[in-house]
Chains A and B, each alone.
Chain A
């Protein structure tokens, strides 16, 4: 194998691992399972007060240096962006769970990539439960 062949092979390999996804793959982001991503992004809180929860989510995002982009009290959603020479966009939604709980789900986009690791969400919910004075329950 000569030098050029090796270099070419190597570049192809590197590009392959770096993942040149198709538009369909990029749109659907199906590389993580729906069940798994929901479990990472969702926590249950023992409250049914949507307005207070939404206001607390907004305050927590502000504490984390986010600027609120939009909020909807009826749908129960908040979107916010943090700029620090990177762009981190978060959307948080609420929905009821049974008679006594609210499910809070967050999803993030770091620059041009989805945030799929569990740690950032764990950190977000740790901040949120302190502000809520309530425990964030893992949902399975």
Chain B
């Protein structure tokens, strides 16, 4: 008779241990204490060079100030407001707030609502642009311009639904097309 009872006891203990481990795991996850910086966050990767090329253009001028002023102009063309600048280092930072409503997401949310499920959809976003100019090449005869974009998106519940760098090649192509036009217009005093 004793054996089955002991067996029952150890079984209960195993279940207890399991539930305790689970509890610990949940608590640690919720408090977020195990979150550390990803291993590769500060490591240069093979993609770094390709990204740099995508985000950089070189202009045959020594006038870094003129390029910076054209950059400020193109950012205004794009509806950005300047938030920081340090012309001594060729840095201009700008941001804008825009809608992040996505037709596909809306449709999915309506469908989910029909099934009685409440989902949150993207509502608005802050987009940031940071442009850095730099004298470049032999006797600094060129000025390089590198632009980087990122955004943070909030959903209808006011939570951050995504925060990311924007790396679509078309974005950069579009920016530099506008910048070339801006440089031309300002050189012509238009």
* A contact residues vs B (CB 8 Å cutoff): 3, 6-7, 10-11, 14-15, 18-19, 51, 54-55, 58-59, 62-74, 78, 80-88, 108, 110-113, 115, 117, 119-121, 123-124, 127, 130
Does any Cβ of A come within 8 Å of B16's Cβ?
yes
Decide if B88 touches A51 in the complex (CB within 8 Å).
Answer: yes
B146 contact from A18, A62, A112, Cβ within 8 A: A62
Decide if A120 touches B41 in the complex (CB within 8 Å).
Answer: yes
Decide if A58 touches B89 in the complex (CB within 8 Å).
Answer: yes
Does any Cβ of A come within 8 Å of B185's Cβ?
no
Interface residues of B in 1-58 (CB under 8 A from A): 16, 19-20, 23-24, 27-28, 31-33, 35-39, 41-44, 48, 51-52, 55
Decide if B93 touches A55 in the complex (CB within 8 Å).
Answer: no
A51 contact from B89, B130, B148, Cβ within 8 A: B89
How far is it, in angstroms, between the C-alpha of A127 and the C-alpha of B52 when the chains are bound?
14
Q: Supply 18 further A-B pairs (C-beta < 8 A) apart from A65-B148, A72-B86.
A: A3-B16, A19-B33, A55-B134, A58-B89, A58-B91, A67-B150, A82-B165, A83-B152, A83-B165, A87-B163, A108-B37, A110-B37, A117-B37, A120-B41, A123-B42, A123-B43, A124-B42, A127-B42
Specify which chain A residues have a CB less than 8 angstroms from the CB of B37 in the assembled complex: 88, 108, 110, 115, 117, 120
Decide if A73 touches B89 in the complex (CB within 8 Å).
Answer: yes
Does any Cβ of A come within 8 Å of B186's Cβ?
no
Give the total number of A-B pairs whose CB atoms are below 8 A apart: 129
A-B contact pairs, 17 of them (CB 8 A): A10-B20, A10-B24, A14-B23, A14-B28, A59-B134, A62-B52, A62-B146, A66-B148, A67-B128, A67-B130, A69-B84, A71-B84, A71-B91, A82-B165, A113-B35, A120-B37, A120-B42
What 1/0 mask marks residues of chain B from 48 to 92 whose CB sits below 8 Å from any chain A CB? 100110010000000000000000000000000000101011110
What 1/0 mask marks residues of chain B from 113 to 149 whose CB sits below 8 Å from any chain A CB? 0000000000000001010101000000000001011
Chain B interface residue count, CB cutoff 8 Å, equals 44
Q: A64-B42, A70-B91 are in contact. Are A18 and B27 (CB under 8 A)?
A: yes
How far is it, in angstroms, between the C-alpha of A64 and the C-alpha of B148 when the chains are bound?
11
Decide if A55 touches B90 in the complex (CB within 8 Å).
Answer: yes
Tell me the interface secondary structure of chain A in the complex: mixed
How far is it, in angstroms, between the C-alpha of A27 and the C-alpha of B7 when the chains are bound?
52
Decide if B31 touches A67 in the complex (CB within 8 Å).
Answer: no
Specify which chain A residues have a CB less than 8 angstroms from the CB of B27 in the assembled complex: 11, 14-15, 18
What 1/0 mask marks residues of chain B from 154 to 190 whose CB sits below 8 Å from any chain A CB? 0000000011110000000000000000000000000
Question: A51, A64, A74 — which one has the most chain B CB atoms within 10 A of its CB?
Answer: A64
Q: Residue of A at shortest CB range from B131?
A: A68
Specify which chain A residues have a CB less than 8 angstroms from the CB of B24 in the assembled complex: 10, 14
How far is it, in angstroms, between the C-alpha of A69 and the C-alpha of B83 when the chains are bound?
9
Question: B20, B41, B48, B51 — which one has the most chain A CB atoms within 10 A of its CB?
Answer: B41
Decide if B164 touches A85 in the complex (CB within 8 Å).
Answer: yes
